């Protein structure tokens, strides 16, 4: 039997399946900061939609003063526990990307939001609001690194991805189906099935959701609405600082490096 469940209600399984690239992403964020950031020794970091805290911990271990927020209390609880268990500190709070408020006034050197979390914002208004809020809490020259999967509206077929991971004897197999995006509503439907084998028992849980979609032109149009953030470079999900990309439709998995204006 397949249980219907929001997979962010089971942070451990999310964390197991998403952990493989964590150290690569951490190293990439530092490379991006070294190449495009404002210089100086300050290391104040913000992660909107920080989830299970895998990157909060990774960056804290790399010497960053990390802050993060998320809309899911369960993900946050998991993040807090993992930081405590690792003996590390970070400021974490519950909040929404489109309307977040900092617990205390602060300016950051670097903010990031990878693995398409930004696409949970289902309207242009919310997406622009998020960008404006991030811009308002970056130092001049500070960076927002935003990773999104772009959409090819000519693709009619369903896409399927499958990968698996294991930790402490818990095996998780993730199957994700993405249906063709609707160019009118700019929404795409996704279904994620996790098959979990834990303590000798196997069960399957399923989450159905939708993402807002962007092609390169739609992403450029959004960025034009927030001139305080300027696109300085693009990369892709291989996280290779030596392989910049263009923001066009030739490549789906894009990482945008946005810099806060210095005026």
Ligand X SMILES: C[S@@+](CC[C@H](N)C(=O)[O-])C[C@H]1O[C@@H](n2cnc3c(N)ncnc32)[C@H](O)[C@@H]1O
> Which residues contribute to the site for ligand X (CB under 6 A)?
8, 18, 49-52, 54-55, 70-72, 75, 96-98, 114-115, 117, 120-121
Residue whose token pair is 């130092």: 139
Find the shortest distance in angstroms from Cβ 126 to ligand X. Answer: 7
Whether the Cβ atoms of residue 189 and residue 208 lie closer than 8 Å to each other:
yes
Find the shortest distance in angstroms from Cβ 77 to ligand X. Answer: 12
Nearer to ligand X, 94 or 261 (CB): 94
Q: Which residue of this chain has its Cβ atom nearest to ligand X in the complex?
A: 51
Find the shortest distance in angstroms from Cβ 240 to ligand X. Answer: 18
Nearer to ligand X, 70 or 109 (CB): 70
Find the shortest distance in angstroms from Cβ 118 to ligand X. Answer: 9
Nearer to ligand X, 176 or 204 (CB): 176
Nearer to ligand X, 93 or 141 (CB): 93
Nearer to ligand X, 20 or 217 (CB): 20
Find the shortest distance in angstroms from Cβ 217 to ligand X. Answer: 24
* Cα 84 from Cα 211, distance rounded (Å): 32
Find the shortest distance in angstroms from Cβ 8 to ligand X. Answer: 4
Nearer to ligand X, 30 or 70 (CB): 70
Nearer to ligand X, 123 or 185 (CB): 123
How is the chain classified by DSSP, letter by letter? -EEE--GGGSHHHHHHHH-TTHHHHHHHHHHHHHHHS--SS--EEEEET-TTSHHHHHHHHTT-EEEEEES-HHHHHHHHHHHHHTT---EEEE--TTT---SS---EEEEEE-TTGGGG--SHHHHHHHHHHHHHTEEEEEEEEEEEE---TT--S-EEEEEEEEETTEEEEEEEEEPPPBTTTTEEEEEEEEEEEETTEEEEEEEEEEEE---HHHHHHHHHT-TTEEEEEEEETT--TT--B-SSTT-SEEEEEEEE---
Residue 59 CB contacts under 8 Å (≥ 6 apart), including other chains:
26, 29, 45, 47, 66
Find the shortest distance in angstroms from Cβ 25 to ligand X. Answer: 7
């Amino acid at each position: 039997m397949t249980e219907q469940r929001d997979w962010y209600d089971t942070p451990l399984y999310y964390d197991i399946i998403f952990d493989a690239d964590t150290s690569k992403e951490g190293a990439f964020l530092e490379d991006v900061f070294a190449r495009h950031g404002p210089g100086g020794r300050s290391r104040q970091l913000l992660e909107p939609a920080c989830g299970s805290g895998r990157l909060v911990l990774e960056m804290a271990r790399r010497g960053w003063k990390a802050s993060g927020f998320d809309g899911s209390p369960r993900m946050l609880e998991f993040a807090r526990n993992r930081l405590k268990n690792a003996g590390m500190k970070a400021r974490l709070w519950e909040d929404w990307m489109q309307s977040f408020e900092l617990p205390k006034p602060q300016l950051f050197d670097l903010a990031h939001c990878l693995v398409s979390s930004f696409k949970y914002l289902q309207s242009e208004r919310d997406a622009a609001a998020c960008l404006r809020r991030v811009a308002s809490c970056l130092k001049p020259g500070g960076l927002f690194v935003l990773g999104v999967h772009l959409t090819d509206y000519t693709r009619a077929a369903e896409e399927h991805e499958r990968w698996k991971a294991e930790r402490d004897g818990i095996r998780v197999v993730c199957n994700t189906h993405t249906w063709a995006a609707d160019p009118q509503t700019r929404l795409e439907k996704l279904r994620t099935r996790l098959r979990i084998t834990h303590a000798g028992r196997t069960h399957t849980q399923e989450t159905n959701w939708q993402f807002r979609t962007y092609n390169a032109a739609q992403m450029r149009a959004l960025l034009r609405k927030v001139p305080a953030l300027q696109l300085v470079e693009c990369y892709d999900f291989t996280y290779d600082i030596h392989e910049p990309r263009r923001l066009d439709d030739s490549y789906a998995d894009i990482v945008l490096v946005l810099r806060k204006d210095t005026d």
